[in-house]
Copies of this chain bind each other. A is one copy, B any other.
């Protein structure tokens, strides 16, 4: 593997000139620049990242902590984050925490010296712990709002509100909500919104779950929800909804004739054949990109830079998967 010195020799300049030419081209004269580049090219030079990290104190890595990779919402965020980071020559280390607070803290500690910043997807640790971690390294939070930290969330509760309104309009009174993991900040927010809506309308909401956001869990909950007599079902995420609808199919329960359905995100719901399903569309990829941009700002900007977080808007897709309740037909 060619080193900086090899390139310097090849180009007939000093090592520092090569270093400058390659990382701050504007500090070098045109002809030198070209000569260095040519030499580097010829030798197939690639800067040793460890050496660079040692001098600069920056590794070029960001860590993205995710509860799991099976949830397509997370894997979408992760893929997008990685893609954007790659454009500026950085890499994203994805670490799976299992949604466990201890594991999360552990990973944070282990990675602290290896990365330039952290993005935490739906972290479960206490706000105090997260802020403490942020004192040591730039850190942004995804899918949860932590005062004092740059947070990126999606306005899913607002979107759900729109869906509730539509259900009221259609004449539903008994609505099921199939809840996601209890440790999820977003699920809490969604339930709050739901309770609020229920309070100011004739809507009765029955909460089912909480469950892990997996296909099989949605399927497992389907019968109970149907038996409860609810005429509409809102679901924590699309994976659960698909699972529930899968079971509806086997049970002979029809959508929307027998039950109206909508989910809180639409990963995997897209491109489904047949009539589209109502959903609150959350830009999972946008979330990943926003987190990375913020981290880049924090790392490149003056120390202590703390970019504003954002709440990304959702798109509410209301389709014929919402219909008047059976009893309302007569």
Binding site for B on A (CB under 8 A): 1, 46-51, 53-54, 59, 68-70, 72, 75-76, 78-79, 82-83, 91, 93-96, 111-114, 214-217, 219-220, 222-223, 242, 245-250, 252, 268, 270-274
Contacts and interface: CB of A to CB of B under 8 A. Distances in A.
B46 A113 contact: yes
27 contacts: A46-B112, A49-B59, A50-B51, A50-B59, A51-B54, A53-B53, A68-B79, A69-B79, A83-B96, A91-B93, A91-B114, A93-B93, A94-B94, A215-B268, A215-B272, A216-B268, A216-B270, A216-B272, A217-B271, A219-B273, A219-B274, A220-B271, A242-B242, A245-B249, A247-B274, A249-B250, A250-B274
Nearest to A106: B86
Contact of A273 (B54, B75, B223): B223
B219 A247 contact: no
Nearest to A255: B250
Nearest to A222: B273
Given A68-B79, A219-B274, 10 more contacts: A48-B54, A51-B54, A54-B54, A82-B95, A83-B96, A217-B271, A219-B272, A220-B273, A242-B246, A248-B249
By CB atoms of chain B within 10 A, which of A70, A82, A273 has the most?
A273
Contacts of A70: 72, 75-76
A141 to B, nearest CB: 21
Copies of this protein in the complex: 2
Nearest to A1: B113
A69 B59 contact: no
Contacts of A48: 54, 113
A47 B81 CA distance: 28
Nearest to A216: B271
Contacts of A222: 273
Nearest to A212: B271
Contacts of A1: 113
A165 to B, nearest CB: 27
A242 B268 CA distance: 12
A274 B219 CA distance: 9
Nearest to A136: B1
Contacts of A51: 50, 54
Contacts of A273: 216, 219-220, 222-223, 247
A219 B75 CA distance: 22
Nearest to A248: B249
Contact of A50 (B53, B68, B217, B271): B53
A106 B271 CA distance: 30
